[in-house]
Structure 1
Amino acid sequence: MNTPIVFPLRSRFSWRAAASALTVSAGLIGSAHAAPAASAVVVPVVTVQAGTTALGFELDGQIQAQRQATVAAQIGGTVQALLVKAGDAVRAGQALAHIDGRSASADLSRGDAAVAQAQAQLDNARLNAERTRELRAKGFVSQAAQDMADTQLKAAQAGLREAEAARSQAALARGFTTVTAPFDGLVQTTLLEAGDLAGPGRPVLTLYAPGALRAVVQVPASRAAAAQTATRLQVQAPDGGWVAPVRHTALPTTDPVAQTVEWRLDLPALSGAAPGQSVRVRFEGGPVAANAGAAALSVPASAVLRRGELTAVYVVQGSQFVLRAVRSGASRGGAVELLAGVKPGERVAQDAVRAGLAGAVPAAAAQ
């Protein structure tokens, strides 16, 4: 027998409340679907315009240690222990790693045995030569027999020298089982770990002396003459200030692929500077001043995005932004000179940070 289900009177109000809740939820869902259109990030744009060139130019560079080395293994074997880690300070001659030396020890033992054997052969040849000489003096043997004995003695002497050289080489190889620091410095990075297989010439770690740093910049070949005759060089320090290098050197060769000339600028002591940091290098004065008033492309400094070695702007293409790498020049009065990457009349985002957000659209496209 089926029992009818009886709802209390107040249940109809619950159904009405539920229906109202569903209606409200549907409205919220509809507004949620419409939200993305309202969440678009509208970014103002500026037009790349021609201006006047600054009396100089700037390039991106990188800090390097003046004294650095890649310490490599000189024998093959398993790395038994890596005694340092990145950031550790080490002294010249300090042990950095131990390599399995059982093979080197066996070679040394083999060398000792070879030296002992060669010494015994030499002793025997010397006694034979002395007896032959005495017999020759009494006329019991011929001159040919004495000559043969003397030749065997010389061969035994040469064999001993060869065995001793091989033993010295084995002893030297056994000394290579301990990798040591060539100078005082800091460990920049380790390239092997305990248990890895080392081999002759395989890097173990990199080491640098922190006291002397330099800025390295690649100067385009088209600006090499202007850089050579610049009257003032400056490097931007990590704190934002500009410092003059102690000395500078331009390598005499040009990179055949990049068509750049490497400049090395030795820096004074800088607080917070470390190898690998990106810096700006400024070349001022010289014949570059003759270009003053010539057409140059520039954009506001806020339009330029700098991330490590990347310098780029967001260019308007249709209704969206496209990131494009550029080469920047000098910065003057809140504007940055663009040497390559854009053309006059192109539009770029005025705020490069906002243009990189999801949903960012140019101001004109949002209208």
Structure 2
Amino acid sequence: MQRSPGKKLVLIIGLVALAAAGVGVWRHETGGKEAPKSLNGKQASAGTPVTTAVAQRGEIDLSLKLIGRAEAYSTVNVRSRVSGQLDTLAFTPGTHVKKGDLLARVDPRPLKAALDEAQGKVASDEAQLAKAEADLGRYQNMLGKGFVSRADFDLYKANLGVARAALVSDRAAARAAQTQLDFTTISAPFDGVTGAPLAYPGATLTADTTDIVVLNQVDPIRIAFAIPEDSLAAVRNSARRGALPVQAKIPGDTGGPLKGELEFIDNAVDVTTGTIVLKARFANADGRLTAGQFAEVTLPTTRLTDAVSIPVIALQSSSAGTFVFVVKADKTVEQRPITTGATTADRVVVDKGLQAGERVVTEGQLLLVDGARVR
């Protein structure tokens, strides 16, 4: 059954009256005050939170970032200086050893026998020398009394000279035999890290030929890297002012960068690649660098003496170019275009558009527009 138009009108009027009564009750309970502003409105009036940095004027070093490879400061293939059978290995592969530590020993028995023989000859020569000296002394008294001829006396005098010469020669042979015996003990020539054994006990060693182990000196250690030849002049100019500092960062290492200094510039440019090899020396007492390991090297090339610079993260880009947000005294920001120069590490040189002492936004730029208030 359909309702009549009059009944519909009465129903609509009743609903409107009910809504009006509800609004009146709400205004009465709130004392007629307006609803509080939204949270976003409060934040907007307080300003957008940002992080800032001050543009600085002063010296700044431009640098190259390169990939280098660590190499041992010195490497030695340890060999025996005498032939013989390898008796023992006294090192643990892959561990640090000190200069003078025992690495290996060659069977000393054959050389010990040779030394005993040489020392026996020395003892015989000493006895012969004592007899010759005694004989010469007796014949010298008899010569004065006319009991012996001059020729006999000269013979005993010559025998004394022969005995002395034989003793000198055999003593030298004994020292040589002792040296050979000492060579059966093979010690580390410097502090370093041992590799895997290249010969094992029982092997026959050939003097100065058979490798026993490779020893790497890793403290200090070098990092070798190549720079473009057009950067060589700037590096040489910087090196003339004194020791050129070099930094190295190891991939995956949580420690800070290693600090060293440039030690070597090669004497020729590689005509194939147009680069030249440089090497930097680093202290490595903690063993953070291992020979053959890659590292990211930072090498200063040119020093600017009066440059304005800001952190790289302050830079923003638009279709009109590069700009930064500059914080003014009234805590609002100005979107200002700038002209940038060279970049080094985490800073960039500003050629135009910014003065030293001005403050720029480094974090929070995405929430800003020109004239926005910040905190």
TM-score normalised according to structure 1 size: 0.54
Q: 1:277 aligns with which of 278, 282, 293?
A: 293
Cα shift readout 1:305-340 (whole Å, capped 9, x = no counterpart): xxxxxxxxxxxxxxxxxxxxxxxxx9999xxxxxxx
Deviation at 1:141, TM superposition (A): 2.4
The question of 1:128 aligning with 2:135 is answered: yes
- For 2:148 and 2:279, how far apart are their aligned partners in 1? 79
- For 2:116 and 2:271, how far apart are their aligned partners in 1? 52
Native 8 Å contact 1:235 1:282 kept in 2:
yes
The question of 1:207 aligning with 2:215 is answered: yes
Q: 2:89 aligns with which of 82, 88, 106?
A: 82
Cα shift readout 1:62-85 (whole Å, capped 9, x = no counterpart): 213446544331211121222223
Cα shift readout 1:327-356 (whole Å, capped 9, x = no counterpart): xxx9999xxxxxxxxxxxxxxxxxxxxxxx
- For 1:117 and 1:271, how far apart are their aligned partners in 2? 56
The question of 1:193 aligning with 2:206 is answered: no
Native 8 Å contact 2:220 2:281 kept in 1:
no
Q: 2:178 aligns with which of 171, 192, 200?
A: 171
Cα shift readout 1:218-256 (whole Å, capped 9, x = no counterpart): 556665334323576332323368735332212574489
> Which SS does the other structure have where 1:194 is aligned?
coil
Deviation at 1:159, TM superposition (A): 1.0
- For 2:100 and 2:156, how far apart are their aligned partners in 1? 50
Cα shift readout 1:266-320 (whole Å, capped 9, x = no counterpart): 24666742122122333343299xxxxxxxxxxxxxxxxxxxxxxxxxxxxxxxx
The question of 1:100 aligning with 2:101 is answered: no
When the two chains are superposed, the root-mean-square deviation of aligned CA atoms in Å is 3.7
- For 1:63 and 1:220, how far apart are their aligned partners in 2? 19
- For 1:256 and 1:160, how far apart are their aligned partners in 2? 61
- For 1:256 and 1:114, how far apart are their aligned partners in 2? 61
- For 1:77 and 1:93, how far apart are their aligned partners in 2? 21
The question of 1:235 aligning with 2:248 is answered: yes
> Which SS does the other structure have where 2:93 is aligned?
coil
Deviation at 1:142, TM superposition (A): 3.0
Give the 5 Å matches for 1:1-367: 57-66=64-73, 69-202=76-209, 203-208=211-216, 210-219=218-227, 223-229=231-237, 233-239=246-252, 243=257, 245-251=259-265, 253-254=267-268, 260-267=276-283, 272-286=288-302
- For 1:221 and 1:285, how far apart are their aligned partners in 2? 12
- 2:5 paired residue number: none
Cα shift readout 1:97-152 (whole Å, capped 9, x = no counterpart): 12122321221122022213322321332232123212211112233432332222
Q: Quick one: which amino acid aligns to residue 225 of structure 1?
A: A
Larger mean Cα displacement after TM superposition, 194-203 or 234-243: 234-243
Native 8 Å contact 1:100 1:177 kept in 2:
yes
Deviation at 1:191, TM superposition (A): 2.6
> Which SS does the other structure have where 1:229 is aligned?
helix
- For 1:98 and 1:257, how far apart are their aligned partners in 2? 48
- For 1:169 and 1:92, how far apart are their aligned partners in 2? 24
Structure 2 gaps, min length 5: 1-61, 239-243, 305-342, 347-375
Larger Rg: 2
Native 8 Å contact 1:189 1:207 kept in 2:
no
- For 1:134 and 1:271, how far apart are their aligned partners in 2? 76
- For 1:165 and 1:78, how far apart are their aligned partners in 2? 26
Aligned residues between the structures: 238
Native 8 Å contact 2:246 2:280 kept in 1:
no
Distance 1:89 1:249, change over 3 A: closer
- For 1:125 and 1:222, how far apart are their aligned partners in 2? 80
Distance 1:147 1:256, change over 3 A: farther
Deviation at 1:196, TM superposition (A): 2.6
- For 1:262 and 1:129, how far apart are their aligned partners in 2? 72
- For 1:149 and 1:220, how far apart are their aligned partners in 2? 81
Native 8 Å contact 2:245 2:260 kept in 1:
no
- For 1:173 and 1:93, how far apart are their aligned partners in 2? 18
Q: Quick one: which amino acid aligns to residue 203 of structure 2?
A: D
- For 2:270 and 2:166, how far apart are their aligned partners in 1? 52
- For 1:284 and 1:178, how far apart are their aligned partners in 2? 47
Q: Percent identity?
A: 25
- For 1:200 and 1:79, how far apart are their aligned partners in 2? 11
> Which SS does the other structure have where 1:86 is aligned?
coil
- For 1:247 and 1:187, how far apart are their aligned partners in 2? 26
